[in-house]
Amino acid sequence: MTDPKKLFIKTYGCQMNVYDSERMAESLGASGYVQTDQIDGADMVMINTCHIREKASEKLFSDLGRLRPAKEANPNLKIAVAGCVAQAEGAEIMRRMPLVDLVVGPQSYHRLPEMEAKIQKGERAIETEFPVEDKFDHLPERKAMRGPAAFLTVQEGCDKFCAFCVVPYTRGSEVSRPPERLLAEARNLASRGVRELTLLGQNVNAYSAGGYGLARLIREMAQLDGIQRLRYMTSHPNDMEDDLIAAHGDCPALMPYLHLPVQSGSDRILKAMNRKHTADDYLRVLDRVRNARPDILLTSDFIVGFPGETDADFQDTLNLVRKVGYGMAYSFKYSARPGTPAAEKLDVDTAVADARLQELQALLTSQQRAAQDAMVGQVVDVLYEKAGRLDGQMVGKSQHLHAVHVTDAAGQVGQLVRVRITESKSNSLAGVPLG
């Protein structure tokens, strides 16, 4: 028996890239690879890229440059680039970096075994087209999971065409997977010890297939044996339908957590971003969600320094943040993505954008701190996902997605435990089990 080949994957970006990395590792399992956490000694190094944030291409080429000595020392080392930068710039990657053996876009990674066979013959392989076939029809069955929480992609692509975003160009138009296949995959995951599922999509609440919307899919998954918790991300405010909002109140398995990006609090900037909603539209959606589930924790995304943003526009964003009171949020300085409509517009002065980002992040950090501090003394449900670094400690997530370190020498991975919160730390909570 030959020894398995070792695959090291470095993943950038969102939860969907994490899911894709897992599926690519499973796909390459057919070619004799096992995943490793150590880059030293790997037979293949794969960089799974994200094209959303600033200087994505530069970061990739820097990573590839650092791999050059390893490739020179071991010519048999295979180097692969996957994800959205691969999709957008595959030919340029191949041209600039002869050390790269394989480039594959996010819709083509089901073809990895045949691509791997090609590079083993000394050829280079690139797949960045949008294939006719559904990749999910050709991927292997999910293997044993690493923990009790898992991602499940239910929808891909986006038809919103926000002026700053490359997703419609790198992931394609919106496509929803058939509900019967998703329910079968969820059952399979539950049989392998998964207790919590996060349903993923670039625009997940636009899910629509076989007479199902996202709310119906959630309700049916909640009935599956073994599935105790459900979440979903990422959503668009315009697709928060009545039945999905109602599910937050009447489906106990759906956790009280909602990530709903708004990007700006200024109606003028929202229009320039092609978001197709106003700040008031967004706030009214949140009011309805909170009426359905008063204890829900809200998170969001913000872009500052979008072309044309004035001090007044930025103050509108700060005012919206103060009105909502987020449990956590991601904030970024605008960076032009080639090929998007906003890329042709004049940028806000860098120093001004930097100062605005610091002010916004300070406000968001204070809200996150207040939300965590308010949990001290409260009782939460924690799903143990792994043992902590300290003896007798378990680490898991609360229903609000807070990371919780629990002093519990008898704890086991996969347990759902009632925990009293005793301390709020910078980015996590600490507690002790009840009883």
Does 144 have pLDDT greater than 60? no
- Model confidence pLDDT, tens digit, residues 347-373: 999 999 999 999 999 999 999 999 999
Beta carbons of 93 and 128 less than 8 angstroms apart: no
Does 243 have pLDDT greater than 80? yes
Task: Kindly report the average pLDDT of the chain as a whole number.
Answer: 93
pLDDT at position 222 is 98
Place of tokens 């949020």: 329
Nearest to 229 by CA among 256, 258, 206, 267: 256
pLDDT at position 428 is 97
- Section 141-153 average pLDDT: 82
- Section 131-150 average pLDDT: 74
- Model confidence pLDDT, tens digit, residues 2-29: 688 999 999 987 788 888 898 899 899 9
Element (H, E) at 47: strand 44-49
pLDDT at position 380 is 98
Give the domains, in start order, of the chain with CATH numbers: 5-127 (3.40.50.12160), 135-373 (3.80.30.20), 379-433 (2.40.50.140)
For residue 138, name the pLDDT band (cuts at 50, 70, 90). low
Nearest to 216 by CA among 257, 255, 256, 182: 182
- Model confidence pLDDT, tens digit, residues 162-200: 999 888 887 888 999 999 999 999 999 999 999 999 999
- Section 119-148 average pLDDT: 79
Task: Specify the amino acid at residue 82.
Answer: A
Does 414 have pLDDT greater than 80? yes
What would the two tokens of residue 20 be? 């894709």
Does 1 have pLDDT greater than 70? no
DSSP per position, 230-252: EEEE---GGG--HHHHHHHHH-T
Does 133 have pLDDT greater than 80? no
Sheet holding 328-333: strands in order across?
A: 257-259, 297-304, 328-333
Nearest to 364 by CA among 405, 320, 412: 320
Q: pTM (2 decimals)?
A: 0.84
Does 30 have pLDDT greater than 90? no
Beta carbons of 69 and 36 less than 8 angstroms apart: no
Does 256 have pLDDT greater than 70? yes
Does 145 have pLDDT greater than 90? no
pLDDT at position 77 is 96
Q: Calculate what percentage of the chain has a pLDDT beyond 90.
A: 78
pLDDT at position 356 is 98
pLDDT at position 421 is 98
Does 141 have pLDDT greater than 90? no
- Section 88-114 average pLDDT: 91
d(CA 152, CA 375): 29
Does 75 have pLDDT greater than 60? yes
Does 151 have pLDDT greater than 80? yes
d(CA 97, CA 118): 18
pLDDT at position 274 is 97
For residue 108, name the pLDDT band (cuts at 50, 70, 90). confident
pLDDT at position 34 is 93
DSSP three-state, residue 80: strand
**Residue 137 vs residue 39, higher pLDDT:** 39
